[in-house]
Amino acid sequence: MTPKSSLAVILFMPQIRPAGLAVAQRRLPTHQLATRILSLLAICSLMTQAITTLSGTLAAADTDPPTPEQLYFESSVRPILKTHCFHCHGEAEHREAGLDVRLVHLITKGGDSGTAIVPGDASASLLYKRVADDEMPPGGKSLSPKEKEILQRWLAQGARTKRSEPQTPPLEDWTEEERTHWAYQSVVAAQPPKLELTSNASTAESLLSPVDAFILDKLQKQSLSFSHSADRLTLIRRLSFDLRGIPPSHEEIANFINDTNVDAYERLVDRLLADPRYGEHWGRHWLDVAGYADSDGYSEQDTERPWAFQYRDYVIRAFNEDLPIDRFVLEQLAGDELVPTPWEAISEEQQRMLAATGFLRTAPDGTGHEGVDQNVARNEVLAETIKIVTGGLMGMTVGCAQCHDHRYDPISQRDYYRIRAIFEPGLDWKNWRDKNARLVNLWSAEERQRAADVDKLLAELEATRLKELDGIVADIFEKELMKLPEEQRQEARTARDTAADIRTPEQQKLLRDFPSLNVDRGSAVLYDGARINEFNKKFETQQADIRKARPADFFLACFSEVPNQVPATHLFFRGDFQQPRDPISPGGLSVLQEQDRILPDAPEIPTSGRRLQFAKMITQGVHPLFSRSMANRLWMPLFGRALSSNPGDLGRLGEPPTHPELLDWLSHRLVDSQWSRKNFTRELLVSNTYRQSSAKNGLHQDKDPQNALLGRMSLRRLQAESVRDAMLATSDMLTLKMYGAPSSVNPDEVGQFILGKATRDGNGILVAKQEEVSDTYRRSIYTQIRRSMPLGVLEPFDPATMTPNCDRRSNSTVATQSLMLMNNSTVIRLSEHFATRVIREAGSDATAQVTHAWLLAFGTQPNQEQQARSLEGLVALRAELLPKELDPAKVEAETSKSQHQALALYCQALLSSNAFLYVD
């Protein structure tokens, strides 16, 4: 590392760190502050080292090997022991071998086998020997060579601690190293860096937003700069996919390109943000976080959730209406506590708030499924819900602390159960309410009455039906009886009328010898199919007639608590609900000193109010985890990766932000803009950073191949839903119907999951066939998400996996995707529709056709060379598709058909091309 770069960092970093120090000051005596500052500087310098390594300007091999540094227990060794050893040798009730390895003096004291370490001599230290020989940890989970090496070196250096140790390991008194992790520090209201503009003069013009100052500052430090701005076609295509998930129409493109107003770009951004498609596309991002699905998952049964869509619709509306994020989160966590009970004849606004709590009902849920241990399933609903909530809103993997303290982050097992206590009143595993009991009926009083009347009539009809059916069964029995010798008939009647368990051996034998006497309601159809079918038809018709008067089901699936019923939450030893220990009060994370922030039950509402308080706690002010998490998540879809690249884990196993100051600045900005998503997004979109060209050159390749520093826009592949939606839009087949029940997904004849209802084939086997109806062509967000039946056309392109939720999508390039684009019947059908559209709009001239198709697919006219190549391509396809022998009577029809097929194949090539699948 050059002295210059480390100086730059030291000068730069203090701006963003004082609040971190403020946290420290609250808790630490002054004399420890010096150490704290030094360690912070060490962190800063490490980050610089990381950046230089990333950009490749300073390869490690070019520098001298680092002088062996002094290792300390707290910073180097404790994390290893915490990960591998603490649970059995410290935290658990029973300490294995009497050894506690949580403090050095306890290790020195040792356990049943005597002292565990000899400072200065690793090979004489029992702890090291057991670990080095892979005897510990048990079960083949040995330490890595690097971990062993650290342990060995620390012992050789004298097994030092940085600070003096307490007598006993304090409960939830997190070490300095743990507390100072970046994500827990207060969010700093930093000013954008004032840049000394070192590169070319035009850089000044490129600071269109404060965001740009943060980005450029880092770029300049690596002698990089912004790329030039992308052209207008690229910009509108990028904006359209980023905001709406579908391509711009060629009219929209032409309007934008020809717009000479200075604020043409800004107005385009506003227009797209106001488009209802925005909520559909961005709502999908949030549904990933929430783990939304239209089925239960969990067991083989994977029961459908017919009313889940109301939450999906809530999310789409919230994005379109720009519901402030704090309110959005409040409603999702505690909408039910905002609506007074009883929930009868509730207003639309109240329905909306109840629907919001669908967020807490997305987790896989095996309760009520056959063959499932109900207590396990109930507790897992709670566990998965906690994962979704804490990962989604706080970027913390709290779920890891269910069985023992988190192995990497300062999250105690008590913390876990504090959070569990927030949700347990609504998911009370000892007083479980099944899914139907939780549904809120949205019928009006009049509708309720009508339904009750209908149900009464149906019950009466059913009684009549059964009586009549029993008559038929009796007739059949009499007929079967005729097969018996006359003298046995009366005996058989008696046998049949006698309960099975008190029949005499003779009666039993008689019925065994004439098994066809055993007719009952269920088997009657086997005896007299015609009569039973007629009978069934008669009653089905009557039932259907009565049912017509019944209002359609209208339910809301939401989260709720039983008023005035608050179960106690206990810490579970090893996470096992059969081993409850201390009762635990609701609270937040102790590392943030939030363990006591959820106050005793609020008196003004009949439910516990815990979720309401939790929501307020995290949305108040600039919460370090919540606000960073939200800003980080809003950044991700626009730039292809989040600033802290794993938005579900801002802890030690996640990645520190590439631009920590920017993330903090954005977090404040989000709060300052009244949590408006649209304002925040607009701020990012008008930045120069966003508007850059995606062109990657040799310098980028050398210095920042992954584009972490954003010296250009990243080239991005469309996400799964957009691949399909863009094809629908381009072929002019997109149905824009919003909201409501999803389009059904079912297996087809080979087991691929397609859009269509399941019907019986000629052999009575249930298969789905894709139908050409408008519902087939709705946007992907409106297709049914069945956890066990991923829609075939989406699956190859890495859709969200809901186990339980998805923090970021993967981005694979596999042959399955190519095979789908080449051969999938939906893709082929859409290509045919695309061709039909081209002919409709461009006529029959081949040149006009290829040109227009190109325009529709890519938003621009082909250049001369592209046009010539396309024409050549189409001619070749026509030649291949023209039947070898034309029926003279049908020459025209067959030629026209083959030409349509050729054009469709040309269109399919455009839809399968990289230019279509990627956004510059």
Partner 1 sequence: MKRNQANATHAPCSSRRHFLAQQGIAGATLWIAGALGQQSIATPPKPNTAPVNYDLKPKPSHRPAQAKSMISMFMQGGPSHMDLFDRKPEIEKRSGENFSGELKYDNAAESSAKIWAGPWKWERYGQCGMELSELVPHLGSIADDVTLIRSMNTGVNNHGQSIYALHHGRVTAGRPVLGSWLTFGLGSESQQLPAFVVLTDPGGLPVLGTDCWSNGWLPSVYQGTVIRPQEPRILNLNPPPHLTGKPQKAYLDFLKQINAEHFANRPYESDLQARMGSYELAESMQSAAKEALDIGQETEATHKLYGLDQEPTREFGTRCLIARRLVERGVRFVQIYTSTQQWDHHANIKDALPAACKKTDQPSAALVKDLKDRGLLDSTLVHWGGEMGRLPVVQNEKNVGRDHNTYGFSTWLAGGGIKQGCIYGQTDDFGYQAVTDIVHHYDYHATLMYLFGLEADKLVFARPGGNGTLLDGQPGKIVEGILKNPILNNPVPNNPVAATPA
Q: Which of residues 51-70 bind partner 1 (CB under 8 A)?
A: 51, 53-54, 60, 66, 69
47 close to 78: Cβ distance less than 8 angstroms: no
The site string for partner 1 over 869-888 (x = CB under 8 A, - otherwise) reads xx--x--xx--xx-------
Select the residue interacting with partner 1 from 423, 626, 798, 830 (CB under 8 A).
798
Residue closer to partner 1 (CB basis): 300 or 344: 300
Residue 519 as a binder of partner 1 (CB under 8 A): the answer is yes
| Tokens 């396309």 found at | 870
Q: Is 504 in the site for partner 1 (CB under 8 A)?
A: no
User: What are the beta bridge partners of residue 114?
Assistant: 111
Site for partner 1 in 388-427 (CB under 8 A): 408
In the chain, what's the furthest Cα-to-Cα distance?
Answer: 116
Q: CA 472, CA 465: separation in Å to the nearest integer?
A: 11
Contact 586, 383 (CB under 8 A): no
CB 817 to partner 1: min, Å? 7
- Per CB under 8 A, 485 contacts partner 1: no
- The reply on whether position 896 binds partner 1 by CB under 8 A is no
Which structure tokens are listed for 154? 């620390």
Q: Quick check: 1 binds partner 1 (CB under 8 A)?
A: no
Binding partner 1 (rule: CB under 8 A), the pick from 92, 549, 819, 893 is 819
For partner 1, give the closer residue by CB, 353 or 710: 710
Helix (H) or strand (E) holding 698: helix 698-703
Q: Give me 514's structure tokens.
A: 């004439």
The residue type found at 816 is: T
Q: Are 895 and 882 in contact (CB under 8 A)?
A: yes
Closer to partner 1 at the Cβ: 353 or 768? 768
Pick from 6, 25, 35, 49: which binds partner 1 (CB under 8 A)? Answer: 49
Instruction: Find the binder of partner 1 among 67, 167, 763, 864 (CB under 8 A).
Output: 763
Q: How far is the CB of 524 from partner 1 (least distance, A)?
A: 8
Identify residues 604-663 at the interface with partner 1 (CB under 8 A).
Answer: 640-641, 645-646, 652-653, 655-658
Residue 436, both tokens = 């139907």
Q: Select from 518, 536, 565, 759 the one that contacts partner 1 (CB under 8 A).
A: 518
Q: Is 750 in the site for partner 1 (CB under 8 A)?
A: yes
**Site size for partner 1, by CB under 8 A?**
133
CB of 556 to partner 1, least distance (A): 26
Write out the E strands in 182-336: none
**Radius of gyration in angstroms for the set of CA atoms belonging to the chain, rounded to a whole number:** 34
Give dist(CA 412, CA 398) in Å, integer. 9
> x/- string (CB under 8 A) for partner 1, residues 688-707?
------xxxxx-xx----x-
Q: What are phi and psi of 283, to 5 degrees?
A: -60, -35
717 near partner 1, rule: CB under 8 A: yes
Q: Are strands 439-441 and 555-557 parallel, antiparallel or unpaired?
A: antiparallel
Give the shortest CB-660-to-partner 1 separation in angstroms: 9
- For residue 820, state whether it binds partner 1 (rule: CB under 8 A): yes
Using the rule CB under 8 A, give the single segment among 114-122, 138-146, 241-249, 574-582 that binds partner 1. 138-146
Query: Is residue 474 a contact point for partner 1 (CB under 8 A)?
Result: no
Q: How far is the CB of 413 from partner 1 (least distance, A)?
A: 17
Kindly state whether residue 839 participates in binding partner 1, applying the rule CB under 8 A: no
- Examine residue 918 and tell whether it contacts partner 1 (CB under 8 A): yes
C-alpha 73/C-alpha 79 separation (Å) is 9
By CB under 8 A, what part of segment 67-106 binds partner 1?
Answer: 69, 71, 75-76, 79-80, 83
CB count, 10 Å around CB of 552?
A: 7
Q: Which of 64/196 has CB closer to partner 1?
A: 64
The correct pick among 32, 115, 249, 824 for binding partner 1 (CB under 8 A) is 824
Q: Quick one: which of 30, 63, 67, 144 contacts partner 1 (CB under 8 A)?
A: 144
Please give the DSSP secondary-structure letter assigned to residue 655.
-
Which of residues 752, 770, 836, 860 is near partner 1 by CB under 8 A? Answer: 752
761 is a site residue for partner 1 (CB under 8 A): yes
Q: Based on the shown chain and the rule CB under 8 A, indicate whether residue 297 belongs to the binding site for partner 1.
A: yes
Minimum distance from residue 518 beta carbon to partner 1 (Å): 5
- How do 753-755 and 745-747 pair as beta strands? antiparallel
Compute how many other C-beta atoms are within 10 angstroms of the C-beta atom of residue 811: 12
Among 89, 181, 633, 809, binds partner 1 (CB under 8 A): 809
Q: Does 769 bind partner 1 (CB under 8 A)?
A: no
In whole angstroms, what is the distance from residue 826 CA to residue 557 CA? 33
Count other Cβ atoms within 10 Å, centred on residue 146. 9
> Among 121, 134, 263, 300, which residue interacts with partner 1 (rule: CB under 8 A)?
300
576 contacts partner 1 (rule: CB under 8 A): no
Residue 464: count other Cβ atoms within 10 Å of its Cβ.
Answer: 11
Residue 488, CB half-sphere, CA atoms under 13 Å: how many? 16
Q: Which is nearer to partner 1, 375 or 585 (CB)?
A: 375
Is 847 a residue that touches partner 1 (CB under 8 A)? no
Our CA angle for 711, 223, 58, nearest 5°, is: 105
Q: What does each C-alpha distance from 807 to 287, 658, 672, 871 come to in angstroms? A: 10, 18, 26, 44
Q: Are 551 and 565 in contact (CB under 8 A)?
A: no
Closest CA to 571 of 431, 413, 389: 413
Dihedral of CA 525/530/533/539: which sign?
A: negative
Q: Rank residues 112 and 865 by Cβ distance to partner 1 and give the closer one.
A: 865
Judged by CB under 8 A, the residue of 2, 504, 825, 847 near partner 1 is: 825
Under the criterion CB under 8 A, does residue 373 sit at the interface with partner 1?
yes
Query: Which residue, 286 or 328, is less far from partner 1 as judged by CB?
Result: 286
Of 41-49, 327-335, 563-571, 664-672, the segment contacting partner 1 by CB under 8 A is: 41-49
The answer to whether 301 contacts partner 1 (rule: CB under 8 A) is yes
Residue 890 falls in which region: left (phi positive, over 0), alpha (psi -120 to 50) or beta: alpha
Q: How far is the CB of 268 from partner 1 (least distance, A)?
A: 24
Q: Residue 778 has what DSSP assignment? A: B
Distance (Å, rounded) from C-alpha 114 to C-alpha 604? 59
Identify which range of 322-330, 485-493, 722-730, 903-911 contacts partner 1 by CB under 8 A: 903-911
The DSSP secondary structure of 368-380, one letter per residue, reads: T-TTS-HHHHHHH
Q: Tell me if the bond preceding 342 is cis, omega within 30° of 0.
A: yes
Instruction: Give the integer Cα–Cα distance in Å for 783 and 720.
Output: 13
